[in-house]
Amino acid sequence: MNDKTTSITYLEKHPEMVFREGKPTAHELMSGLITDAITSGVKSLLVKKLDSWWVVNGDIDWTKKNSREIDDWKEIFNSLIPNNIVGPTSSRTEVIVRVFCEGVFLYDSTSREKCEIGELPPQEVTEVVFQNDGFSIAFKV
């Protein structure tokens, strides 16, 4: 097992290290994604809740603006990436979303690139995502 796998496995087994309530909440995940987006240069954000799914849409793909210059979504959502603007020991939220959510759906309207991790979103969620310009993350806790 490599260090990355060990770190992610550790996170999975210790949600209390990530979440105030000791378990994942949409509120904390949303807060982390919004912080990551703003500190990465997003100028416009839209947040929408559709049943048990949340959608965060920004004018740019903020996930690829990271300190390690990783531009592959699979790698981004499987890596502990520091958020140096927030603090020296802070981590970006993407991997936490992947670890603790039942489903994640990503879409970039510019490149028409999409990625699905875990449970697929219902049609009403993908319709909202596809209508937005820019980049969207939809997730279900």
DSSP 39-80: HTT---EEEEEETTEEEEEESS-GGGSSTT----HHHHTTS-
pLDDT at 11: 87
The gap from C-alpha 28 to its chain's centroid, in whole angstroms, comes to: 11
Other beta carbons within 10 Å of 27: 13
108 bridge partner residues: 113, 135
Residue 139 burial by Cβ neighbours in a 10 Å radius (0-12, 13-18, 19+): buried
pLDDT in tens, the chain (141 residues): 555 557 888 889 999 988 999 999 999 999 999 999 999 999 999 999 999 999 999 999 999 988 888 999 989 998 888 888 887 778 899 999 999 999 999 999 999 999 999 999 999 999 999 999 999 999 999
Query: Hey, where are the domains in the chain?
Result: 3-140
> Of 4, 3, 18, whose CA–CA distance to 96 is shortest?
18
CB 74 within 8 A of CB 65: no
pTM comes to 0.90
pLDDT at 42: 96
